[in-house]
Amino acid sequence: MQPRSCSRAMKAVGVVEASCEEIFELVMSMDGTRFEWDCSFQYGSLVEEVDGHTAVLYHRLQLDWFPMIIWPRDLCYVRYWRRNDDGSYVVLFRSREHERCGPQPGFVRAHIESGGFNISPLKARNGRPRSQVQHLMQIDLKGWGVGYFPSFRQHCLLQMLNSVAGLREWFSQTDERNAVPRIPVMVNMTSDSTSSRKNKRNSDFSVQPPSIDQINNASRNSVLMDEYSDEDEEFQIAESEQEPYTDRVDHEIKKPVLEEEQTDQIDLSCFSGNLRRDDRDSSRDCWRVSDGNNFRVRGKNFCFDKTKIPAGKPIMELVAVDWFKDMKRMDHVARRQGCAVQVASEKGLFSLAVNLQVPGSTHYSMVFYFVTKQLVPGSLMQRFVDGDDEFRNSRLKLIPSVPKGSWIVRQSVGSTPCLLGKAVDCNYIRGPNYLEIDVDIGSSTVANGVLGLVCGVITTLVVDMAFLVQANSVDELPERLIGAVRVSHVELSSAIVPKLEPEISVAESNN
């Protein structure tokens, strides 16, 4: 179990008269302009730029609380950001050790457990843009002063959270909104502090935050959001359907084919996985079927009114979940003797296995097995299963949610639908009576950044996931879930090493 944190989380919320983009660019800066709105900032520099969304930063805090007896604090942390399709921004912080950013003489290294900004657009007033800024910080300031002087921690937290008021004042008093922020590049932190300061002063390097166009483009590669998913151009509406509801009769005739459900229940007693099912809310290290109405999908008339509706009952039944680990990535797990896919095939059922592959020194795989009696001919699901990889990548959608977890994890995961095939590499294995989808989360640096936040606190999380095939035309609506699952407080130690049968041939595995 994770040790319970003794640090206290605090949040400040304020309204700033500026656009989300302007506030985001200022928040991302670590140059001289930061002194003007962040009274806790002394110095900051870039240690490593991991990718367009993730960077490791060094940060010295200006905490004016009896400096003669309390040593100053510094930080080394990962900063991750994303832009949501509603125009809001999320910027997240979490401490991390780095070889080029060791402890500094004369400083106590504080530890950010959870922190960041949430910048959301508000309705303009008097022609001026407005945004809501939330700043949360949970930090362990370390050192003996924290224990001896409880007011020290509260004073420092309030000083850091005052940045929200600082942003509001900065934008109310300045017209210089187009200045390009700079982040000095970190020098080698292993040298002594005197030479480090000289090198930092003499450093001519800088990193500019991305432009808004770059942000929009980069966001399309983000693992947990899909900039395209609800765009009008995704819909293929025939000319005869441009007038609302003119082909409603035809449409009503087509829908029963997609919505036709088998009335006989599938016997679940013959299926099993090593992660147990438990439907109690308080249970740990288990899974259960998540209520489909917790997720909103494109409704029947989405192409006309953009309305989303509760998803309702899925078209497939979640029958088992496996939780695996190994020293290498686990592909094509459906070949494992006695797994739910093989049991379903013996009973004449069709199954879909979604294998979420988590990279690391130890590789993990969580496999969800969905079963149905048969695919409806001509349905969107049948076309997805028998389609090519390009079609599958453009349609397979994940809707995530974190009902229980820390603020930083809930913000990093979000709840925006994501087209998996556009965010990460997906390998599709079409078997005689099944389709396995191996989702390589390690193929995306952005996904890895989120995993870095999630894996350390996985035992504290309750995560909901829904899988579906995106509907892009009138006759494919409304969208239907393939299935939905809730995974609660999973323990890494409960994963097992699977015994996989050898591949027969590449041609057969690819079908």
DSSP secondary structure letters along 283-325: --SEEEEPPGGGSEEE-TTHHHH--EEE--S-SSEEEEEEEEE
CB atoms within 10 A of CB 286: 18
In a domain, 1, yes or no: no
pTM value is 0.68
Mean pLDDT of the chain: 79
In a domain, 41, yes or no: yes
**Average pLDDT in the 345-362 region?**
94
In a domain, 225, yes or no: no
In a domain, 205, yes or no: yes
In a domain, 325, yes or no: yes
Sign of CA dihedral 142, 145, 150, 151: negative
Domain extent at residue 180: 9-215
Residues 174 and 323 in one domain: no
Residues 456 and 482 in one domain: yes
Residues 456 and 366 in one domain: yes
Task: List the end-to-end C-alpha distance of the chain, in Å, as a whole number.
Answer: 44
Domain stops at, among 215, 249, 284: 215
Residues 211 and 283 in one domain: no
Amino acid of residue 82: R
DSSP string, 318-370: EEEEEEEEESS----GGGSTT-HHHHHHHTT-EEEEEEEEE-SSSEEEEEEEE
Return the higher-pLDDT residue of 200 and 395: 395
The confidence score (pLDDT) of residue 507 equals 45
CATH number at residue 138: 3.30.530.20
Amino acid of residue 412: S
Return the higher-pLDDT residue of 316 and 155: 316
In a domain, 241, yes or no: yes
Per DSSP, the chain holds a count of helices (H) and strands (E) of 15, 22
Q: Number of folded domains in the chain?
A: 2
Residues 259 and 337 in one domain: yes
Please enumerate, as own/partner, the contacts of 301-308 that have beta carbons within 8 Å and a separation of 24 or more: 301/245, 301/477, 302/235, 302/471, 302/477, 302/478, 303/232, 303/235, 303/237, 303/473, 303/474, 303/477, 304/244, 304/245, 306/230
**Average pLDDT in the 362-375 region?**
96
Domain stops at, among 188, 215, 242: 215
Residues 192 and 329 in one domain: no
Residue 8, C-beta contacts closer than 8 angstroms, at least 6 positions apart: 138, 153, 154, 157
Residues 261 and 340 in one domain: yes
The confidence score (pLDDT) of residue 204 equals 35
**Average pLDDT in the 62-78 region?**
75
Grouping H, G, I as helix, E, B as strand and the rest as coil, residue 430 is strand
Residues 287 and 418 in one domain: yes
Q: Longest Cα pair distance anywhere in the chain, in angstroms? A: 81
pLDDT above 70 as % of the chain:
73
The confidence score (pLDDT) of residue 5 equals 45
pLDDT tens digits for 180-230?
445 555 444 444 443 444 444 333 333 444 444 444 444 433 333 333 344
Residues 186 and 243 in one domain: no
Residues 210 and 316 in one domain: no
Residue whose C-alpha is closest to residue 422's, from 276, 238, 234, 244: 234
Least confident of 29-33, 338-342, 468-472: 29-33
Q: For residues 405 and 460, what is the distance between their CA atoms, to the nearest angstrom?
A: 6
Residues 407 and 439 in one domain: yes
Residues 336 and 406 in one domain: yes
pLDDT tens digits for 151-189?
656 666 667 778 888 899 899 886 555 544 455 554 444
In a domain, 223, yes or no: no
Return the higher-pLDDT residue of 93 and 156: 93
Residue 282 predicted with pLDDT over 60? yes
In a domain, 222, yes or no: no
